[in-house]
Each structure stands twice: as C-alpha cells, then as structure tokens.
Structure 1
Amino acid sequence: MTAYKALSTEKTGLNIPPGTLLKMKIEGIDIPIKIQASLVGMVKNEYILITHPTPLATTKPKLYAGNGIIAQYQDGSDICVFGVKIIDAIMKPIRVVVLEYPDKIIRRKIRSES
C-alpha cells in the first residue's frame, strides 16, 4: 500500500528549485498528451511562475484565468502533486504562466524495485 502525505505549504513553503520539470494536466484538455513546463520561480504564499506548457498549440487556448492545473514533479524519492488555478498567462515579452500558490502538496514515495 502506498502512503500519501498531504502537507500544508503555509509555513514550510514549496521546496522546488527553478528549472524543475513539471508534468501537468490542464482542465479542458482530455486527450492523452504529455504536457510539461519548467518552474521559473515563486513568491511564497503568493504565486508560482512557470514556462508556457508544451505543446503550445494544444495548451494555449486553455491557459486563462481561473482554469485548473494539476502539476506533478519528482523530489528525490517522492512524487509531489498539487492543484491550483491559473492567475494569468503572459505571452509578451516572454511566455510565462502565473499560478496560484498551492495550499497543500501531496507527497508519495516512489516504489522501489525489489
């Protein structure tokens, strides 16, 4: 049985270094494609900045304020998942997406092959 831990981010914050690859599911995209973005930065308890998710043609129409995103990344031997809403998608001068800062993060140990 896999153990899950739901951790509050209010005091500890997210411990994700810039450049971390995020695998994503975007609300309204139901086709089985690989959607990825990289973490650009964040302000604790305020917002997260990510690169524009790829593939661009598929994700661009769904990047609007209030739409939901579920992001997943690997932290050592844990898989971490959080769900947030989009605040804004900026196209110029650079393509970045501003996300809400998550209230909690779910961590799960990666099963080791025995």
Structure 2
Amino acid sequence: MIGFEELNLQPGTRLQLMRHRGRTPVQYLSTFIGMERNEYLLLRLPKAQGTFLTFYDGEKVTVRVFSGVMISSFDASVIQTIHHPLNCLCISFPHAIQVKKIRREMRIKVDIEGRLGLQDRTILPVKLTNISATGCQILVDRDIGKVDGQVVLNFNIAQLHDDETSAMTLEAKVRNVVPAGLSGGASFLAGLEFVALESNVQLLVRHYVYECLVDRRQNLV
C-alpha cells in the first residue's frame, strides 16, 4: 500500500476507470483533471458510443494507473457526475493505493492494418499480428532490413467502448525478422520493440490490450 502523494498523479494522466454494475467490471478510459487534497478527485467523464456516461452518486468505481511495469489501483465512490460545462466525474479521495508489479507485458493476437516507414523513407503496408504495450509483431511482404534498425509504425486502435479510434505513430527498433512461411509469395514476420514511448501513448496501447482480454477473450501470445 502507498499513499496518494506517492502516486504522483499529474493532470492529463490517462487512466482506467472501472464500473461494477454487472458480473464483470467494465473498463473505460479517462483522464485525471485535478483534486482537492483529502476531499475529492476530478476525472474526465468517459464515453460509450460517443456519449458521455452518467454515474450514480455513491456508486463504487475502481481507478487504475499504469506506470512502466507497475499497476496502481484504488476504489472510490462517486460524489457527483458533472455534465456541464466540464463533463467530469467527482469521486472520493483515496487514502490507500494498491500497487502490483506486472511480471511481463501481456501480448495479444490482433489483425490490424498499418504502415511501416523505413530509414530510406520507403513506406510499406503491414499487418500487426500481435501487440503489447512494449512491442508488436508485424507481417510484411519484404525484408525490412537489419536487426536493431529504426522504423516508424503507423496504425489505428479502436476504443472498444467508444466509436473513436486513436491514431498511433510509434518509433520502433527491429528485434528479429524471419520468413513467415505463408503460401502466395514471400512474406516475413518481424518483431518490433517500441522505443521512446510516452507514458500516455503506452497507456492507450495497454488499455487496448486489457479491453481485448476482457471483452473479446483474446488469446495471450
């Protein structure tokens, strides 16, 4: 357990907000706005299908914050849903934060179209076949160069409880390239490691991975 001050939560930090109305908690993406110490926290209201959600006064919610390979979480109760003019959620101030270390990043199978920029400025169409918060595997129809080469990967990920998608542009390092062994022509599987990843971007990817595990029962790789 740690105190809230040790969490060092900054305005604008992306976080997971979990609602507990059914058998399975539903996860949403939110943003920390601010707080009145020992009184309340203000979070951005999450959306579902393009509409801001409404929470009941007194409703239990769980907040998760990801930092590197650590998950910090705490339970709180809703004080008030404020739609106008801020679209924010006021929740009780937490005094005890649970911290859990993730042994390894979870990686899930995906089928996401993307574009890969090579060092010679060539742009290649690729398909992401699995992803975690620290890297991914792509399928590409030609060799993309040497191990440790720098590339730029562009793709979109959907927010599963919303109509919005997030456009991702990530710098990555090639970790391995092997023949895919597929029929219909030469193709390669390349393992990429994301580099210089901002914490908010990493949270978006990690949130997507967790949502897929819960909602789509994706198989871990």
Scaled to the shorter chain, the TM-score interval is 0.7 to 0.9
Structural RMSD (CA): 2.3
For this pair of structures, how many residues does the alignment match? Answer: 104
Residues 19 and 26 in structure 2, CA contact (< 8 A), matched pair in contact too: no
The Cα of 1:20 is off from its aligned counterpart by: 1.1
Alignment of 1:10-89 (within 5 A): 12=5, 14-30=7-23, 34-55=27-48, 57=51, 59-60=53-54, 63-89=55-81
The Cα of 1:75 is off from its aligned counterpart by: 2.5
Distance 1:42 1:53 in 2: 18
Task: Tell me if 1:108 matches 2:100.
Answer: yes
| Residue aligning to 1:99 | 91
The Cα of 1:33 is off from its aligned counterpart by: 5.1
The Cα of 1:32 is off from its aligned counterpart by: 6.9
Structure 2 unmatched ranges of 5 or more: 106-221
Structure 1 unmatched ranges of 5 or more: 1-5
Residues 43 and 88 in structure 2, CA contact (< 8 A), matched pair in contact too: yes
Distance 2:86 2:61 in 1: 20
Q: Relative to 1, partners in 2 of residues 1:112 and 1:84: Cα closer, same or farther, differing over 3 Å?
A: same
Q: Relative to 1, partners in 2 of residues 1:19 and 1:25: Cα closer, same or farther, differing over 3 Å?
A: same
- Name which structure has the greater RCO, CA cutoff 8 Å, separation 6+: 1
Residues 81 and 88 in structure 2, CA contact (< 8 A), matched pair in contact too: yes
The Cα of 1:83 is off from its aligned counterpart by: 0.3
Letter in 2 for 1:7: I
Residues 64 and 88 in structure 1, CA contact (< 8 A), matched pair in contact too: yes
Letter in 1 for 2:53: T
Q: What TM-score, normalized to structure 1?
A: 0.77
Distance 1:40 1:13 in 2: 17
Letter in 1 for 2:80: D
The Cα of 1:13 is off from its aligned counterpart by: 5.8
SS in 2 for 1:89: strand
Instruction: Give per-residue Cα distances to partners, 1:27-73, cap 9 Å, x unaligned.
Output: 2155675411100011221110000012264832xx02100000101
Distance 1:47 1:14 in 2: 15
In percent, how many aligned pairs have the same letter?
27
Residues 77 and 109 in structure 1, CA contact (< 8 A), matched pair in contact too: yes
Q: What TM-score, normalized to structure 2?
A: 0.42
